[in-house]
Structure 1
Amino acid sequence: MEEFEILDFHQLQQEKEGIDQAAQFLQKKIQNGFKVSIVIKKQHKFALPPLQQKKNDLFSKQHQPIDLISQSSEIIENNDKQGSLTSSHSYSSIKMNKKQLTIPPTQNETPIQDQEEEKSIKSDDDQISLKYNKNNSFKHSLKDNILSQKIQKGLLFQRDGKSKLAVEKMMDVYKEGNEKLKSCQDQQQISVLIIICIQSLCYASQIFKQLGQFNEALRCLDKCLSQFEINDFDLLCQIYISKAQYCLLNNQYLQSLDNYTKALIQYEQVNWKLEIAKLLVKISFVYALLSKSKQFKKTGDFADAKKICYEGLSILQNKLNNSDPRIYETYYTLGCIFYLEKEYDFALEYLDQSKQGFIKLYGEKHQSIIKILNLQGVINHLQGNSINAMELYEQIVCLYGESLSFGLALVLNNLALAYLDRMKFKSAKLSFEKAITILKVYLNEQHPTFQRIEKNQKLVLAATLSYM
């Protein structure tokens, strides 16, 4: 692992009492094998907005903008108002632990060391697609199976926004397939039924995730791991990665780290550099969250998080061209790490690099820019620059357009708080009202996020009265 040391040049001069001493210090660092990045830290001096003097009275910790990074755990199991994983490789040998029945292995069971990796981009939010190197008879048997057709009907429900019906259909398919396996004697039919069971569980898991029911999503993947022995290393890794993501959304940081590590060990055994790099970046973010929550104690800190992320970035830069979105995504992760460390100036610099990269690739109106704009808005908001924050939040609202998504509700909350900071009480009131209207579609009114935004709404009256 390369060593990186981020140095603030102004502090360096002060510590070493002048430029000559600073130069000697740097030369010694480089000779000792450190890769040194010199950063001139900006000193922002924002004018305090009019409401800032009364902010201590009106704005508690609960009223701060939602960053969608450290607040992810709020979208949890209580989401009961509404309402698999992608492998680019072949489906491999899977056998039921109970019956010890095996599907014939495919080419991916014994991966080749140091093989040429795919350059295609796999989204972390893609579904697990099970691809098969089977004969035509098997493919037709799978396609014509009535349970496969029921899965397709479930996917139609999901496409039409009927998530609860979709997940019910998937779980019914799993239960029916599992029952048929108990009495099935034909080897090919057994293989078909096992694949259908895994497909239904993976689809159900992703729908539960969309509904915010992360514990249920995890249970589906646990059934895949406990009921079937999966010998396809990449499919197994994708399940571990999805489990890690769901744990992360549920604020289970140590469990998330454990699942990412299991996947990393698998990929290291076959030396798939790109997958290793992507996992290092994901792990670095979990390290940062653990550091922020002080769960790590002596196990790690923000310095470890940054070193791991820089190592992942170094691999990506060696394997990919500089316009690859995975590099810009890593800049975003570095921005998140510095944000969690409260090094806001560094965070903004990395976020800007990420944003500019995505704009070059996709244009200024692409949905991938939303999370970057929101975090930039939150940082500006926390630094007291509510004018910039307001403009960034308004950009996001325009990007969402007519879509009434859960993310839009959280951004509207942030925008309303920025409006309050600028004494735009009517605009703040309207933004809060729209946010709550959207949340009623997704959340129970007792949900922590719903109550938090409802509590924020009361600030409008308090702020208005304070200026009467």
Structure 2
Amino acid sequence: MYDVEITTKSDDEILSLIRAYQQQGYQVWLQKRCSDKFLMQADYNTQGVLDLDNSGIFKSQNVDPKQFNEPSVICSLRKNVEDGHKTSTMEIKDTMLIFPRKTQTDLYSLLSPKLNSEREDLVKGFYEQLKEALHLEQFGQVKESIALLTNLINELENQLIDSQILHLIFVESLLTLGILNAQIMKYSDAKMCLEKCLRLFVIKDQILLAQIYRKLGHYSQSVFSYQKSIDYYNQALIIYEIYNLTPEVAYTMMSIAVIYSKVNQFELAQKIAHHALEITGAEMNKHTASLYQMLGEVYYNSENYSEALDYFDTSYDLKSSSPDAQSRIRTINYIASSCFHLGEYRKAQELFEVALSQVDDQNSLLEAQLLNNLGITKSALKQDSKEEFEKSLKIFLQFYPQNHPSIKRVLRNDSH
């Protein structure tokens, strides 16, 4: 690992230096210190850029909130989190199952203008396949989406056409396939897909590069590698700040806040989260509903369920006209889970049943999650919940091995 202090304040020079290191095969972590100086850390790509720490949720101690400088971007807390990880105590929470959010993507805004002037039917065909795979993912059809993306990537690898559009489709396909493989515990396959994005291409489009870093952050979070996740989100954050993309800055900061709430750094998480919401101002944007949901997650993880409920309600109201049914169902799940933890079991039961009635794709991971949560709620009400747990377990077993935490949790809940 090499440390390179960057004294220049020129955005072009900073980006040029980043690209130079990447072209030589280095993975770069660019961090902005509270002194407004940059420190670039470069590690040569030998065994890969991701560390797979799938051990669980850990507590990290002694993170100094003063390192967070509100007027600038999040300052690096690398050493503190690593030290906390070394001395951490393992904690698996027996609570409601909350799946990670879908990562936001600007794929269509990137590709649509280019496709309008594209006359090559082959390229358009690949684009339509990717759209179908993303549609399947959105509605919880994970296996079908993986099969389609795998086939699409194989076809793209055999193409001799040097097209920027094909590169974009290839990158998005790899990113999505990586995230889905991580969901079903195929971590080596997920890692391979995500690494390809940075190894196969020199990404000249900095906004696309930021999206890649953000998805890598999402993936690392999904396998509990929280330090690596923060590193990737910070890299995306630097680029978004350089280009003054306030909505993306706020969204990425909020993602970082959620991670800190997962490692029990609640005060720091809330400070970052409220700052992210503050910088967006009163203007609505495509991320506003997600920002309120993530802010709710921060309070949910800190067990402040009453406060979390307020933010989830706001998020749901903002999503009421959204065509993304999956996103609305996940928000209902959070609202119902908050009600459960507040002891409002009847209301929680009604909400879980409403959410289940809105699931179009049967036998999906989302349905299994909701069935488990409904089973817990019915058990709390002294009602028979055997059917819900059996259905939930049957679906989970279609996706996960028997030692997966979700399956163990359902079995444990059913035994109570």
TM-score in same-fold range (> 0.5): yes
Partner of 1:86: 106
C-alpha spacing 1:442/1:281, structure 2 compared with 1 (3 Å): same
Match of 1:397 among 356, 359, 365: 356
**Does residue 1:205 correspond to 2:185, yes or no?**
no
TM-score (norm 1): 0.59
Match of 2:379 among 403, 406, 420: 420
Aligned runs of 1:10-409 on 2, under 5 Å?
64-68=94-98, 85-87=105-107, 129=111, 132=114, 139-140=118-119, 143-144=121-122, 149=125, 162-177=144-159, 180=160, 189=161, 191-192=162-163, 195-196=165-166, 199-211=169-181, 212=183, 213=186, 215-290=188-263, 292=264, 301-318=265-282, 320-321=283-284, 326-359=287-320, 361-362=321-322, 366-401=325-360, 403-409=362-368
Matched letter for residue 385 of structure 1: E
Alpha-carbon displacement from aligned partner over 1:198-226 (angstroms, at most 9, x marks no partner): 52343143134335245533432321212
Matched letter for residue 397 of structure 2: K
Is the 1:85–1:239 contact (alpha carbons within 8 Å) kept by the matching residues of 2? no
CA distance in 2, matches of 1:404, 1:158: 18
Alpha-carbon displacement from aligned partner over 1:217-246 (angstroms, at most 9, x marks no partner): 343232121222111111111111111111
C-alpha spacing 1:305/1:202, structure 2 compared with 1 (3 Å): same
Q: SS in structure 2 opposite 1:266?
A: helix
| Alpha-carbon offset, residue 391 of structure 1 | 2.0
CA distance in 1, matches of 2:198, 2:93: 41
Further displaced range: 275-284 or 227-236 = 275-284
Partner of 2:61: none
Q: SS in structure 1 opposite 2:288?
A: helix
Is the 1:87–1:238 contact (alpha carbons within 8 Å) kept by the matching residues of 2? no
C-alpha spacing 1:63/1:423, structure 2 compared with 1 (3 Å): farther
Q: SS in structure 2 opposite 1:229?
A: coil
Matched letter for residue 205 of structure 1: L
CA distance in 2, matches of 1:174, 1:403: 31
| Alpha-carbon offset, residue 413 of structure 1 | 0.8
CA distance in 2, matches of 1:266, 1:154: 26
Is the 1:202–1:220 contact (alpha carbons within 8 Å) kept by the matching residues of 2? no
C-alpha spacing 1:389/1:233, structure 2 compared with 1 (3 Å): same
C-alpha spacing 1:329/1:164, structure 2 compared with 1 (3 Å): closer
CA distance in 1, matches of 2:135, 2:296: 33
CA distance in 1, matches of 2:147, 2:233: 31
Alignment root-mean-square deviation, CA: 3.4
| Alpha-carbon offset, residue 369 of structure 1 | 2.7
Partner of 2:389: 432
C-alpha spacing 1:412/1:261, structure 2 compared with 1 (3 Å): same
Matched letter for residue 294 of structure 2: T
Is the 1:237–1:263 contact (alpha carbons within 8 Å) kept by the matching residues of 2? yes
Unaligned ranges ≥5, structure 1: 1-33, 35-60, 74-83, 91-128, 181-188, 293-300, 460-468
| Alpha-carbon offset, residue 158 of structure 1 | 7.6
What percentage of residue pairs aligned between the two structures are identical? 22
Partner of 1:451: 408
Matched letter for residue 357 of structure 2: C
Matched letter for residue 382 of structure 1: H
Alpha-carbon displacement from aligned partner over 1:91-113 (angstroms, at most 9, x marks no partner): xxxxxxxxxxxxxxxxxxxxxxx
CA distance in 1, matches of 2:126, 2:107: 22
C-alpha spacing 1:157/1:274, structure 2 compared with 1 (3 Å): closer
Unaligned ranges ≥5, structure 2: 1-69, 71-90
CA distance in 1, matches of 2:315, 2:280: 14
Higher relative CO (CA 8 A, sep ≥ 6), structure 1 or 2? 1
CA distance in 2, matches of 1:415, 1:133: 45
Matched letter for residue 243 of structure 1: L
| Alpha-carbon offset, residue 403 of structure 1 | 3.1
| Alpha-carbon offset, residue 132 of structure 1 | 3.6
Further displaced range: 254-263 or 370-379 = 370-379
Give the paired residue count: 316
C-alpha spacing 1:411/1:314, structure 2 compared with 1 (3 Å): same
C-alpha spacing 1:219/1:402, structure 2 compared with 1 (3 Å): closer
Alpha-carbon displacement from aligned partner over 1:298-348 (angstroms, at most 9, x marks no partner): xxx322222222222122224x14xx5633322222211111112222222
| Alpha-carbon offset, residue 352 of structure 1 | 2.4
| Alpha-carbon offset, residue 401 of structure 1 | 4.8
CA distance in 2, matches of 1:421, 1:413: 13
Is the 1:154–1:169 contact (alpha carbons within 8 Å) kept by the matching residues of 2? no
